[in-house]
Amino acid sequence: MSIFNDTQLAFSLKSNFELKKAYLLFKSIQNPTLSNLGINFLQFSIKNNLPGVDFIIKNTMYTQFCGGETREKAVPIVEKLYEHHVSSIFDYAKEGAETEESFWETFREIITNIEFASKRKEIPFVVFKPTGFGRIDLYELVGKKKPLTATEKQEWERVKSRYEEVCKLAHKLQVPVMIDAEESWMQDAADDLAREMMQKYNKEKPIVWNTVQFYRTDRLDWIQTEIAQAKEMGYFLGYKFVRGAYMEKERNRATIMGYASPIMPTKEATDDQYNAAAELALDHKDILSVYYGTHNERSTELIINKMEVMNVAPHSSKIFFGQLYGMSDNITFYLGNAGYNATKYLPYGKLQDVIPYLTRRAKENTSVAGQTGRELGLIATEMKRRNISIL
């Protein structure tokens, strides 16, 4: 029997109405045809500003997966989660914009988040996406060592300056900053920048954290190289370990462009690599701190069992766990209640800005076998316990 089956604890923040609404939402996402129709309608409606659609989305997907339009509006959720021993990580969820104005806007947002988090014990990290600071095509050019035009060189210098200013402030205020991972073809340049920031600002402890997606075939060897280099050069590593978020896009691009897919051939292979990396990190906890971002119960149990064997305290500052807001509450609230560093990734932003995030969330839930079914089963169990009818 799983240790993550306590639905009373998992859904302690949800009212009966919210629980029924979550059930209907995940039921819709579970059906690929219905989910794809919903995604297409969602994108069309927002693009064409159809009346009434904002209200529907805000009261379904948005409230399930997002904290609010601004960080300030998300604070009540942050405080409620913290009352249940769960911290929050603000994720400014605007995606897809590629203008200098947008990059500077995101930069200012992250700077403010660092200042905000420095005054709030409930917020242990600040996070940003590399493409929030620069164009994905530019990252690709830089990562592949392609020649840049004079304009592109200036553009890349601005990207680097945004990283520098964010990491410098994070170090000054002692607020760890976590850099998300994105598509494989732009990741080399992002990794190089993250490593440069680690070497500069992680001399005493990990302030700059990077992210590794273990559905990539090369990442286990890669993280071992990173560990060896950090030990040799004398700086600390902080990493978020995830399985990955761009599986279908990665495989489709590899097929179209005729190169070997960088993604593991099966979910089982991804799970095996993730679990191997999870244990490897604990073996190197002297230099490597880890944020385990996972919705997988088996992986979570494996990690906490190894922590127990190694006498690593649940609240160790070197180990964090995280799940996305609106998902896997059974894992998050169990961990928080048991004294582990449990967190929720809490996206926020204006509705129009977070549509790409919401559609990606729906697609991922549809494509990941078993995840949506597990959510539905837990919600149904809690509804039965509360004697709530589905209709």
Is there a single domain that holds both residue 214 and residue 329? yes
Is there a single domain that holds both residue 1 and residue 23? yes
Is there a single domain that holds both residue 161 and residue 259? yes
DSSP SS3 for 87: strand
* Whether the predicted pLDDT of 75 surpasses 70: yes
Q: How far apart are CA 148 and CA 5, in angstroms?
A: 54
CA dihedral 239, 241, 242, 246 (to 10 degrees): 40
Domain that holds residue 329: 68-348
pTM tops 0.95? no
Say which residue the tokens 């160790």 belong to.
316
Q: Is residue 186 part of a domain?
A: yes
CA dihedral 360, 365, 369, 373 (to 10 degrees): 180
Contact 142, 130 (CB under 8 A): no
Confidence of residue 352 (pLDDT cuts 50, 70, 90): confident
Range with the lowest mean pLDDT among 50-64, 120-134, 171-185, 345-359? 50-64
Alpha helices by DSSP H, listed for the chain, are: 7-10, 16-30, 32-47, 53-57, 63-65, 71-83, 100-117, 136-143, 150-173, 184-201, 219-233, 247-257, 267-283, 297-309, 329-337, 351-367, 371-385
Burial of 126 (0-12, 13-18, 19+ CB in 10 A): buried
* Whether the predicted pLDDT of 135 surpasses 90: yes
pLDDT recorded at residue 27 = 86
pLDDT in tens, 353-383: 887 788 776 666 655 556 788 999 999 999 9
Is there a single domain that holds both residue 74 and residue 136? yes
Is there a single domain that holds both residue 190 and residue 251? yes
Is there a single domain that holds both residue 146 and residue 245? yes
Strand ranges of the sheet holding 288-293, from the earlier edge strand across to the other edge:
86-92, 342-348, 319-324, 288-293, 237-242, 208-213, 177-179, 126-128
